[in-house]
Amino acid sequence: MYAFVSGPLVWIAFVVFVGGIVYQYVTMVRAAKKDKVYPYMSAEYGLRSIAHWIIPFASKNMRMRYETTIVTFAFHLCLVLVPIFLTAHVAMVSLAWGPKWATFSDRTAEMMTIAVILAGVFFLVRRWMLPEVRYVTYASDYLLLAIAVAPFVTGFIAHRQWFDYETMVVIHMISGAVMLMAIPFTRLSHMLFFPFTRAYMGSEFGAVRHARDW
Amino acid sequence: MGFAAMKLPALPITADPGLDENVKDLNPELIAEVINRVIDRETAARFQVYLNTCVHCGLCSDACHWFLSNDRDPRFSPVGKVKQTLWEMMRRRGKVEPEFIKECSRIAQTECNVCRRCSMYCPFGIDIAYLLLTVRRICHELGIVPQFLQDTVNSHAVTLNQMWVKQDEWIDTLQWQEEEARSEVTTAAIPLDKEGAEVFYSVIAPEPKILAQLIGNIAQIMAVAKVDWTMPSLDGWDNSNMAMYSGDFEIMGRVERAHHEAAFRLKAQRIVMGECGHAFRGAVYDGPKWLGWTEPPVPVIHAVDFYHELITSGRIKIARKFDEPVTIQDPCNIVRGRGLGAKLREIVHATCSDVRLPEPGFEHNYCCGAGGGTINCGPPWKTSRVKGNSVKAEQLAATKAHIIITPCHNCHSGIEDIISGYKLGMHVKFFSEILMQTMEIPDDLRAD
């Protein structure tokens, strides 16, 4: 089981992940032509808008909802950085293919993992407690949150060797593969599309309407 | 749905024959055919990506005056409105009941002003207004449009103006206002169909119908500023466009084409339009995009921009300042829609001595609640519309001004309704009315 999960499953997950991304982008680019998006896109104003929404507190709503801003930035940063710079992951890549790169200390990685988990709890509570969020929440929203946080929960447990290590590590790797494969085909794809929707709105507000969209 | 539906109080039911009677002709199969046709043929990347990228975070809610004013009722948040309309349509692949389409029309047409404030609050910049405009398109294609709004669209289709104004009435009104203007400024004139003029001036149909004095005002202003201008005697004089808001894009395109072609035929250098927001939006954005132009063929200038030019260039001099405390309304379609907030403040400061600016302002201003075609849905929907904008009343009251300068017809009427609905004791004025009271009429032009 371990051999499958740390070998072929990794390949499958990455092929689906990368292939899915390519498929989504090609579909989007074709559809964007039909939608007459290109005449209005502007690199300057698109980037200006992206900048105002990727820097914490640079937009009004980020300042209004400052607690959500802090949590969501911490969540996303740690979510992306931990898998890439974790010693255990880099070690596995290095053993399998050779390349290696800088890693976080165990302590740092643990803190970041806990940040992701606590952020996940925040998002969960937010879905329950705010009526305007609860109203638009479906089972799928809880499932997606679980899919995103599961690799971190199981990774943390495995690292701490709390239950049977072999089992936990296998569950961890499966959960990681599931998350990767889910990204192009679920709402987790916001990671792929956000730069484009933001750039388009920035272009429309900035280049066409001479206004600011933050 | 996943989990138990939230318990929310029932909303008052509004009767509107455009919805109630017309749904009787529908059935789920026909509805599915139309929905799928609109989505397949008329939408593409934006529609799909917006719906799939929204992570249901609800951060758009705080943008919307409907949500804030209805005690944060989630049914009025932007994402809540999309949930009640498009999510359900997509889930059922278009096969929804006629009663559902009625609700879609109510939500998209009367409970959203497509003001675009939500796109400034959504972290992804999702164009929620565009999504609801697509719902309006679907409802229009099914013949479901609030009655009063559809009447204005019918008028556009038949007369190319919004208010069933006949051509002789149009010319009569212009001649009458020219006389009125001459009684103040001797050189005031409204040249009809002049070729090659510097300015082609267009108005919305309600002006000749119920606000004719504004035409007289502009005749005086043009005379004092010595502007070489004209107005058309034929169709194309009306720059308003209710079809844009009802989802009747074909008529919208026809009306915009007539307007632009009238200016083009007269070889005007530019089009200046009166104080209206949606007219500007139609002439500069929605119309050209539908007609396949990236820009309007004749440059279009909004009144605020034009007054700014007249005042800063000195063509109009200010003789005295308006001294009652004023505040301003940043109309969605010219501030979020054209960035004219700074120029608006400059001309108000130039003509008024006691200016109390609203908070939030500029692009973050709250919509007046009347735009996007909602006030044009008529009296049946007025109660809901006024209830849906208590934040506007609070915002205006906080300025402690007496007068609200509203450089937009919809804002003017909508805020009038809010003033009376919330008993604010304030008054609305167009900027041209302020200019009339403050501009200097040179002695040699003044009629005595």
Smallest CA–CA separation between B322 and chain A, in Å? 29
Enumerate the residues of chain A whose CB falls inside 8 A of the CB of residue B338: 209-211
User: What is the spatial distance between Cα A162 and Cα A164, in angstroms, rounded to a whole number?
Assistant: 7
Q: What are phi and psi of A38, to 5 degrees?
A: -60, -40
Q: Per the CB < 8 Å rule, is B126 touching A201? A: yes
Determine the pLDDT at residue B2. Answer: 41
- Asked if B124 lies within 8 A of A193 by C-beta distance, the reply is yes
- Distance in angstroms (rounded) separating the CA atoms of residues A208 and A49: 13
pLDDT tens digits, residue range B65-117? 999 999 999 999 999 999 999 999 999 999 999 999 999 999 999 999 999 99
Residue A214, in any domain of the structure: no
Q: Tens digits of per-residue pLDDT, B197-233?
A: 999 999 999 999 999 999 999 999 999 999 999 999 9
Number of A–B residue contacts, CB under 8 Å = 147
Tokens representing residue A104 in the block: 């976080």
Across the interface, whether the CB atoms of A197 and B49 are under 8 A apart is answered yes
Contacts of A60 in chain B (CB under 8 A): 120-121, 364
Q: What is the DSSP letter of A188?
A: G
SS3 A103: coil
Q: Indicate the pairing of strand B199-202 with strand B270-273.
A: parallel
At residue B1, the pLDDT reads: 38
Q: Where are the domains of chain B?
A: 17-145, 150-313, 326-438
Residues of A in contact with B2 (CB under 8 A): 137-140
At B43, which amino acid appears?
T
Shortest distance, CA A207 to any CA of chain B (angstroms): 10
In a domain, A146, yes or no: yes
Beta bridge partners of B238: B203
To the nearest whole Å, the CA of B432 is away from the closest chain A CA by: 24
- Evaluate whether residue A137 is within a structural domain: yes
pLDDT of amino acid B5: 61
- The closest CB to that of A211, out of B63, B67, B363, belongs to B363
Low-confidence ranges of chain B (pLDDT < 70): 1-5
C-alpha to C-alpha distance for B407 and B305, rounded to whole angstroms: 11
Cα of A10 to nearest chain B Cα, Å: 26
Smallest Cα distance from B202 to chain A, Å: 21
User: Which ranges in chain A belong to alpha helices (H)?
Assistant: 2-6, 8-34, 43-54, 60-64, 66-85, 87-97, 106-129, 131-134, 139-160, 165-182, 190-203
**Are B2 and A198 inside 8 Å of each other by CB?**
no
**Could you read off the pLDDT of A61-75 as tens digits, one per residue?**
999 999 999 999 999
| Angstrom distances, CA of residue A101 to CA of A78, A90, B209 | 17, 7, 74
Cβ within 8 Å, pair A133-B57: yes
Total domain count for chain A? Answer: 1
Residue owning tokens 């909004």: B302
Interface with chain A: mutation pick from B55, B71, B133, B365, highest number of A CBs within 10 Å: B55
HSE at residue B280, side-chain half, CA atoms within 13 A, is 29
- Mutation choice for B interface testing from A186, A194, A197, A210 by most B CBs within 10 A: A197
> What residue of A is the nearest CA neighbor of B87?
A136
Q: Is B337's CB within 8 Å of A32's CB?
A: no
Chain B residues with CB under 8 Å of A63 CB are none
- Which chain B residues touch A61 with a CB distance below 8 Å? 59, 62-63, 120-121, 123
Contacts of A210 in chain B (CB under 8 A): 338-339
Rounded-to-integer distance, Cα B402 and Cα B397, Å: 9
HEC states along chain B? CCCCCCCCCCCCCCCCHHHHCHHHHCCHHHHHHHHHHHHHHHCCHHHHHHHHHCCCCCCCHHHCHHHHHCCCCHHHCHHHHHHHHHHHHHHCCCCCCHHHHHHHHHHHHHCCCCCCCHHHCCCCCCCHHHHHHHHHHHHHHCCCCCHHHHHHHHHHHHHCCCCCCCHHHHHHHHHHHHHHHHCCECCCCCCECCCCCCEEEEECCHHHHHCCHHHHHHHHHHHHCCCCEEECCCCCCECCCCHHHHCCHHHHHHHHHHHHHHHHHCCCCEEEECCCHHHHHHHHHHHHHHHCCCCCCCCEEEHHHHHHHHHHHCCCCECCCECCCEEECCCHHHHCCCCCHHHHHHHHHHHECCECCCCCCHHHCCCCCCCCCCHHHCHHHHHHHHHCCHHHHHHHHHHCCCEEECCCHHHHHHHHHHHHHCCCCCEEECHHHHHHHHECCCCCCECC
Answer whether B53 sits within 8 Å of A49, measured CB to CB. Answer: no
Distance from CA of A1 to the nearest CA of B (A): 34
Whether residue A127 lies inside any domain: the answer is yes
- pLDDT score of B8: 87
At B154 the pLDDT is: 97
Domain with residue A153: its CATH number is 1.20.950
d(CA A208, CA B338): 8
| Minimal CA separation from A62 to chain B, in Å | 8
CATH of B17-145 among 1.10.287, 1.10.1060, 3.40.30, 1.25.40: 1.10.1060
What's the ipTM? 0.94
Residue of B nearest to A61 (CA): B121
In chain B, residues with a C-beta closer than 8 Å to the C-beta of A196 are 49
Residue A161 lies in a domain: yes
Q: Which residues in chain A have Cβ-Cβ distances shorter than 8 Å to B75?
A: 135
Domain assignment of residue A57, yes or no = yes
B129 interaction partners in chain A (CB closer than 8 Å): none
Interface with chain B: mutation pick from A49, A64, A132, A185, highest number of B CBs within 10 Å: A132
Q: How far is A22 from chain B (nearest CA, A)?
A: 15
Kindly state the average pLDDT of the residues A19-48. Answer: 92
Interface contact flag, B45 A65, Cβ < 8 Å: no
- Number of Cβ atoms within 10 Å of the Cβ of B59: 25
Best mutation target among B8, B49, B82 (most A Cβ atoms within 10 Å) is: B49
Domain limits at A33?
2-208
Task: Look up the pTM and report it.
Answer: 0.95
Q: How big is chain B, counted in residues?
A: 448
